[in-house]
A and B are shown apart, each in its own frame.
Chain A
Amino acid sequence: MARRLPRKDVVIVGLGWTGSILAYELARTGLDVVALERGPWRDTASDFNIGTAPDELRYAVRHDIFLRPKQETLTMRNNPSQTALPIRKWGSFLPGNGVGGAGLHWNGQTWRFLPDDFRIRSHMIERYGQGILPEGNQIQDWPVSYDELEPHYDRFEQVAGISGKAGNIKGKIQPGGNPFEGARERDYPTPPLKQGYAQSLFTKAATEMGLHPFPRPSANISMAYTNPYGCSMAPCTYCGFCEWFGCANYSKSSPQTCVLPALVREPTFEARTDCEVTKINLSGDGKTATGVTYVDASGEEWEQPGDLVLVCAFSLFNVRLLLLSGIGKPYDPASGKGVVGRNYAYQTGSGALGFFNDAKFNPFAAAGSLGVALDDYNSDNFDHGPHGFVGGASITSAHTNGRPIRYHPTPPGTPTWGSAWKKAVKDNYQRVTNVGAQGSVMSYRNNYLDLDPTYKDPLGRPLMRMTFDYQPNEQKMANWMAERCQEIVKAMGASSTKLNRLGVPWSVVPYQTTHNTGGAVMGNDPNTSVLNRYLQSWDVSNVFVMGASAFPQNAGYNPTGTVGALTYWSLEAILKYLKSPGALVSR
């Protein structure tokens, strides 16, 4: 029996980017805010000590700062006819754990989605007709436009100190930036990172091909910066230990560097770590959340009453918490009814490796978001008519690291071991570079999340089941993109190339990306969305759900920029809600 704690105005589940931003902004108004985080507190100096942080085996291979699958994992299958089995060891994606969440171990690529991405269904039909939409799709327009999100993208970029080069300021195209981006009010707060040798080859080749390369926006920041919250950051040192690592020198934007120092000073805020929220509690009629139940480190169960519950865990775990709490109707692919778990989507990865006869790419001098990208093949920036697919990809030349356990590329045909392998590893470490395409994934009737009937977590709750595969539309798109990448890497001067097509069926084994989206999507129709356009639950008006779980489908970009923008967008609505509680959009 859970013991009851004193009431709080706001209960926040999960203390990553979205949780820390909301906690700060709400505590600042004088509200009593408690954040419950199931992982440990993490701090730059103690947890990401320069003498322990750059450890590939510990973090990238053994996953020291990630959620232990033993505590929670998912089950997985490629389609509803199969039996799902637990993801016993993380592979394809890596959920974080602890204060900072994924905002701690990310690479730092901080994009805005394109204006068309927010109304992709309408836009594609308008331009190409219904026939362009793939079979079984559940693609839907976002309930919010780029223009509405623009000030909130800007806010997040300012708080995170993002380094980049604007391509479109108030409609005026800026040389050197991304000409395809939506109009922005102003430039990034800090200038772009420096780029490596591969990026200079890419820029030259792409420009000569008539494409439009630009430095990709980066949360590994280029210069010392103090954000609007007063938090200070240092310049990135190109150490090459970003993704899967905490940053030792305050140069990667994260809740730790950008929000927590200001947040903890708010006298009405407290964080409780090692506390796992097991359920959002509802009133008898199921229309109001009364707080949450959580289990502390000793296994003791507590009830934390609260007036407002903000669900700020990783996207997948947001969805699971809604399912376990009975908030919103679970999605059923057979009938097409229900919403929670609907429209789970992911990201494609494809591209081409280029092998150069004589180059010193120094891949270790890198940053998670160092790179030059182009958007000529993203969203609907090109004519989809001849190709018969929906969606697109950002194409990038990048070195994010040269850590040798995982990065020791060899040309096709190289033996996997022995002296010949060893020679190829030595010869190619400096001479290989990649041009990659990170692509969109649309939403489909049979790609979804629900509770697994068999497997349970240590608390006895069902694991969530992921049913997902790359559909023909995504395969076509990603493989077409791989060819574009190959053209570019050849033009950069590669003597040979290796085409990396999209791996199908989708497998949990190789790492692909932790851009898991959807499952608790936002929309204008309560029959096809869990949340209204303000990220407020249609069913329980004092529950708001942040994160990429709100994406109706995924675009050809990393999600964090949009997650940040949605958070500030929702914050504005939450502040209105607090003045007059209730549904912000009537059903």
Chain B
Amino acid sequence: MKLPAKACHARTAGLGDMTMESADRRYGRTSRRPDGASPARHGVTRRGLLLATAALLVTTSGVNARVVTKVLPWKPNDAYPVAPVVPGGYLFFTASEAAVVEAFVDRLIPADDLGPGAKEAGVTTFIDRQLTGPYGGHDWLYMAGPFSENPLPSQGLQSELTPRQQYRMGIAALEAYCKATFNRGFAELAAADQDKLIAGLEKGAVQLPNFSSKTLFTAIYNNAIEGFFADPIYGGNRDMIGWKLVGFPGVRYDFRDVIDRPNQAYTLPPVSLQGRPAWGER
């Protein structure tokens, strides 16, 4: 059985896809967006209004605020799940970019005798979908200028580049470097050469044309770890293989049994936001 996705009107958070409503709600500045668009306020849907019972959601005397008084707001079906990533194809990467990322993460977390790696976990799809969402554009971050030429290391992120730009420019630079050096793209290199190159990027020993090698390494590395261990709903950690590797039981939300049995191996299978196989077919 397929989950009747539309029959459930719970709105989705814009973390893994292009849906931005919830993100905007959290930002709480919906109508200050430059395009002047005014998305639905806190989950107010037509149905929400029809079914709202005692929850007060009133606009008084022209104030565009949510006013809460007398009762705790509540509406049926009110939930903010993320939209599950549907694997297949890429929304941001070109096919050749995806091939580079796939080869790269396959070296960072390889499949080996301990089990599948980042590639099998769907990490490339994870990164692709993350880049299409607010993360990819640094939408939530402070991105106003001026940008300093020589920030202190302790001042953290000071680049004007968004993750989308980092990937687009960084992969192009890496490919240009590989073509010039090996006469082949990164994905076509032998694993040992890829490893050597990745190590060079990490240390900043390899100079890419017009792009910081450390920036590219850090972006892919951080996202690969995220994609390997984040909930499978985001497209990575397929079949919870990252969690199974370390023995993280996922989102069970109740470990009273574990705390009662110290120093004992945990044996139940992990659970993701979308459940586990024993829940039966969706």
Contacts and interface: CB of A to CB of B under 8 A. Distances in A.
A427 B254 CA distance: 24
Contacts of B262: 196-197, 200, 362
A508 interface: yes
A174 interface: no
Contacts, number: 287
A418 B108 contact: yes
B3 to A, nearest CB: 13
Contact of B154 (A54, A300, A507): A507
A85 B79 contact: no
A272 B41 CA distance: 14
A94 to B, nearest CB: 13
A430 B226 CA distance: 20
A416 B221 CA distance: 9
A188 interface: no
A299 B32 CA distance: 6
A85 B259 contact: no
Nearest to B110: A419
Nearest to B155: A85
Interface of A: 3, 5, 38-41, 43, 45-47, 49-58, 61-65, 68-71, 73, 76-78, 82-83, 85-89, 91, 97-98, 194-197, 200, 237-241, 248-249, 260-261, 264-265, 267, 269-275, 296-300, 302, 359-362, 364-366, 402-405, 408, 416-419, 421-423, 425-426, 429-430, 454-456, 458, 505-509
A270 B82 contact: no
A6 to B, nearest CB: 8
Given A240-B255, A248-B253, A509-B154, A422 B117 contact: yes
Contacts of A53: 253
Contacts of B245: 422, 425-426
A273 B65 contact: yes
A273 B66 contact: yes
Contacts of B155: 76-77, 85, 87, 507-508
Contact of A49 (B79, B138, B254): B79
Given A39-B26, A238-B256, 6 more contacts: A57-B15, A69-B140, A91-B156, A265-B70, A362-B255, A364-B255
Contacts of A5: 61, 63
Contacts of B263: 197, 359-361
Contacts of B135: 62
Contact of B253 (A41, A249, A270, A509): A249
B105 to A, nearest CB: 9
A405 B226 contact: yes
B188 interface: no
Nearest to A57: B230
A302 B138 CA distance: 31
Contacts of A458: 29, 32
Interface in B246-274: 246-256, 258-260, 262-266, 273
